[in-house]
Structure 1
């Protein structure tokens, strides 16, 4: 067996971004269980960058990633992965206090949320939705380009990617032996970046449970009348019961913001969740749904405190975690990868993340 310094289990956005940071410094292997990287959560993202999405615990990572995503280095292609979108938070009059609490929660971070008339930004919004905040900084993310750029950067610096390599066994005797469907590999350190499968992989490695759990999120693509303008912002209900954004050809992407506990799997939407999504849209706007064109689901994996999990496991030598990034892994990838790489290599943090406290996200909070 070829021995590697580090083997990353999972080639979604968490594993790919960390691989790009580590490849210049180590002999690196990336193991992907599917036939192509990013098949599950990464490839099913709603694809937006929002400083408020995920709450105050996630916002520092999102904000720190913003400049990189707007102005990536030449190593990552040099072209922005973001395009302007804007974000509208809507509420009924009796829920104004929810918006006020939202403003207060992000005031210290400097996130600017302006009071606006929702009808100016969302044509067809029903008259009972009288309250709104607007965030001009929200952007769409070219997820495929970002993920592909990370994988390409890692491979240019010598990282090897093996697909169809679901992990079936892990054992350690001085170094890790990794049994997969593509054969056996050896590494000094393994990185658990397995997304929805992170908890099972941790258990295979002999780690105590962390409580990481996947939750199913439903998305649908609708053709509506009148057609949704591409100038429409991302629209989010203040109570986080739904969100929608425009897609080409007057369509929209819509989610009922569901979080359904599930086992790790190739997630598929349930008919009831699709119906709930369309019903929630009808409660907000007077558009007519002409066709349900697509439906899909992805898994968002959270720790019990809903913060990501980074760091060496104090209970298992040579096991590093990069998991639990929920639905925020893409918009936080640049900062998360640099933070995790510094923790793994024991190096000084990149200036992008030097102000962040790695203990806030450390695996050690579950190993007291």
Structure 2
């Protein structure tokens, strides 16, 4: 069904942030997505081992996550009922008790596990090595490919356009709108959305705007085989309490990671051998698993705002320029809600009622918060 647009909008970035917003706007705007890479989800979105967990991130991120669960479930984007387990070690009893209390206040299904219960759930962690952990049973794996494809299909079905392999080179004011110059020509729009992931500050610079201080951070992961004759299908995501590593099942194998956040310039990220080696050593030290040489290492950039809360809103310095970035490691679990919220803001509407009821305000997400801060002596 073709939309009846009243606004012309260009979205820069074909990851989950840009695509979910483009799909959310399809009924009221003529939307064009411009992606520099040859296919959608090329960078962070295509390299994510996404887990939907309601206990991850700061208060605003958790609120956005809570508001997203229904859409993820109803959209058919749940790949597996996974669960998430924070593991404490000998001497961590007080920290685990404290974490259990904090998370139970947010998510009532969260449980404090004893050392024996934790070992029964993940037998490669010895009873004598752990003080137990904190378990979130309702965390789920997200089918990232399906979510990306669904957003792209919904946009195209409504008459929207996706342009891949096209690089944005300059953005400038043009009358009441904006002009976007690319490697394939020039486009005009009423609104330009900066959803360029690790490149959000770079794209702002193309519009003559200083960035907001959003920082890409590299995370490295790899695959390895589980112990022989071990059924790992029911294992949760296992996260070290001190965030020194994690591992989780994936299609019969295990994904391992250092859980690193290494500052990086925007780039096509590649794994560092030392990061893989340190992660392997930490997982082997904490479990009975012997990984040896892992396979298929990869890296992706997760981009965070200075306060680790996403940015969504118009830039007061350039009318029509809308920021949607800094989704960090939470992109797939918050993108559908941020898309609804951003679509409403662009139409001059308030934050959707269900999202506002969770304490999310437009001001808390607006780029203005960094501009005000930077202007304060």
* TM value normalised by structure 2: 0.91
- The 3 A distance-change label for structure 1 pair 94 and 220 is same
Give the C-alpha shift of residue 171 in structure 1: 1.3
- Name the residue aligned to 1:224: 226
Tell me, yes or no, if the aligned pair for 2:85 and 2:237 is still in contact at 8 Å: yes
- Name the residue aligned to 2:3: none
Aligned partner (choices 339, 362, 367) of residue 358 of structure 1: 362
- Name the residue aligned to 2:216: 214
Q: How do 1:111-126 residues align onto structure 2 when only pairs under 5 Å count?
A: 111-116=108-113, 117-126=117-126
In structure 2, the gaps of 5 or more residues are: 1-5, 373-377
Tell me, yes or no, if the aligned pair for 2:54 and 2:107 is still in contact at 8 Å: no
Aligned partner (choices 10, 33, 50) of residue 53 of structure 2: 50
Q: Provide the rounded CA distance (Å) in 2 between the counterparts of 1:268 and 1:111.
A: 39
Q: Is 222-231 or 278-287 further displaced after alignment?
A: 222-231
In structure 1, the gaps of 5 or more residues are: 73-78
Tell me, yes or no, if the aligned pair for 1:312 and 1:363 is still in contact at 8 Å: yes
Q: Provide the rounded CA distance (Å) in 2 between the counterparts of 1:80 and 1:15.
A: 18
- Name the residue aligned to 1:75: none
- Name the residue aligned to 1:202: 204
Q: Provide the rounded CA distance (Å) in 1 between the counterparts of 2:28 and 2:17.
A: 18
SS in 2 for 1:23: coil
Q: Residue deviations 1:315-359, cap 9 Å, x none?
A: 111110000000111111111111111111112444442423222
- Aligned Cα RMSD in Å? 1.7
- Name the residue aligned to 1:21: 24
Tell me, yes or no, if the aligned pair for 2:12 and 2:194 is still in contact at 8 Å: yes
Residue 93 of structure 1 pairs with residue 90 of structure 2: yes
Q: Residue deviations 1:19-62, cap 9 Å, x none?
A: 01111111111100101010000000012111112233311111
- The 3 A distance-change label for structure 1 pair 103 and 344 is farther
Tell me, yes or no, if the aligned pair for 2:88 and 2:130 is still in contact at 8 Å: yes
- Name the residue aligned to 1:152: 153
Q: Provide the rounded CA distance (Å) in 1 between the counterparts of 2:235 and 2:245.
A: 16
Name the count of aligned residue pairs: 359
SS in 2 for 1:239: coil
Q: Provide the rounded CA distance (Å) in 2 between the counterparts of 1:111 and 1:338.
A: 26
SS in 2 for 1:54: coil
SS in 2 for 1:296: strand
- Name the residue aligned to 1:31: 34
Q: Residue deviations 1:73-99, cap 9 Å, x none?
A: xxxxxx343420111110113122322
Q: Provide the rounded CA distance (Å) in 2 between the counterparts of 1:359 and 1:106.
A: 26
- Name the residue aligned to 2:375: none
Tell me, yes or no, if the aligned pair for 1:191 and 1:322 is still in contact at 8 Å: yes
- Name the residue aligned to 2:260: 258
